[in-house]
């Protein structure tokens, strides 16, 4: 069943049951097959564990912010450096993927609305582990389309935020290193 969601390379996203990870030598031989980000990028396969809140919320964020998730995945692949396990950029992208918050601000800098995009934040809220600190990406109102600004909520704003954040990630103007926000309820 196609959900209409695609990777940055145009491959349809599908949520598949997670396979047990091999250990030892078998894991080293089959590394690419079990590489989470690479499987998404090359095959559109999002490995999803049954009865797992973290993966459930990840799927919901894929369905709500598909362009952003696809851009994050593509940047994860592009940020790889041979011989280095993980780069700082990959760590920063993962932190936003897991704990990101989109904050819409007015011209005077006041916060108008926040949208949680980090699926781990939803998991922590469900477990009542508050407060939660999120990695904030600020979107000024002048970057929004009039339809999104008119309601400050709903599908028009969500689609607009998805477009804006995905563009920032693709164009490598994704800076969140010193910005965070506290979610208390």
Inside any domain, residue 130: yes
Question: What percentage of the chain has pLDDT greater than the value 90?
Answer: 57
Domain-located, residue 8: no
pLDDT at 120 over 60: yes
**Pairing status of strand 111-116 against strand 100-105:** antiparallel
162-172: buried (b, 16+ CB within 10 Å) or exposed (e) per residue?
bbbbbebbbee
- Mean pLDDT for 122-131 is 91
Which two tokens mark 182? 């506290």
pLDDT at 142 over 50: yes
Overall domain count for the chain: 1
What six digits make up the tokens of 78? Answer: 């592009």
Per-residue pLDDT tens digits for 16-55: 999 876 666 555 544 555 589 999 999 999 999 999 999 9
Look at residue 88 and tell me if it is in a domain: yes
Residue 167 inside a domain? The answer is yes
**Prediction pTM value:** 0.87
Q: Say which residues have a Cβ less than 8 Å from residue 4's Cβ, sequence separation at least 6.
A: 12
For 55-118, list the strands marked E by DSSP. Answer: 100-105, 111-116
Residue 157 lies in a domain: yes
Average pLDDT over residues 144-151: 71
Q: Which domain holds residue 154?
A: 14-183
């Amino acid at each position: 069943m196609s959900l209409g969601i695609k990777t940055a390379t145009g491959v349809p996203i599908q949520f598949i049951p997670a396979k047990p990870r091999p250990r030892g030598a078998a894991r080293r031989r089959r590394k690419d097959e079990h590489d989470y980000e690479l499987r998404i990028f090359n095959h559109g396969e999002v490995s999803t564990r049954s009865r797992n809140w973290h993966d459930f919320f990840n799927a919901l964020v894929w369905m709500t912010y598909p362009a952003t998730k696809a851009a994050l995945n593509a940047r994860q692949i592009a940020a790889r450096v041979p011989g280095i396990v993980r780069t700082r950029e990959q760590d920063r992208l993962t932190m936003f993927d897991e704990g990101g918050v989109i904050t819409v601000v007015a011209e005077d800098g006041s916060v108008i609305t926040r949208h949680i995009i980090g699926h781990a934040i939803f998991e922590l809220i469900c477990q009542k582990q508050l407060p939660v600190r999120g990695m904030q990406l600020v979107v000024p109102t002048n970057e929004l389309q009039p339809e999104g600004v008119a309601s400050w909520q709903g599908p028009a704003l969500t689609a607009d935020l998805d477009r804006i954040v995905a563009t920032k990630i693709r164009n490598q103007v994704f800076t969140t290193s010193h910005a965070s926000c506290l979610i208390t309820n």
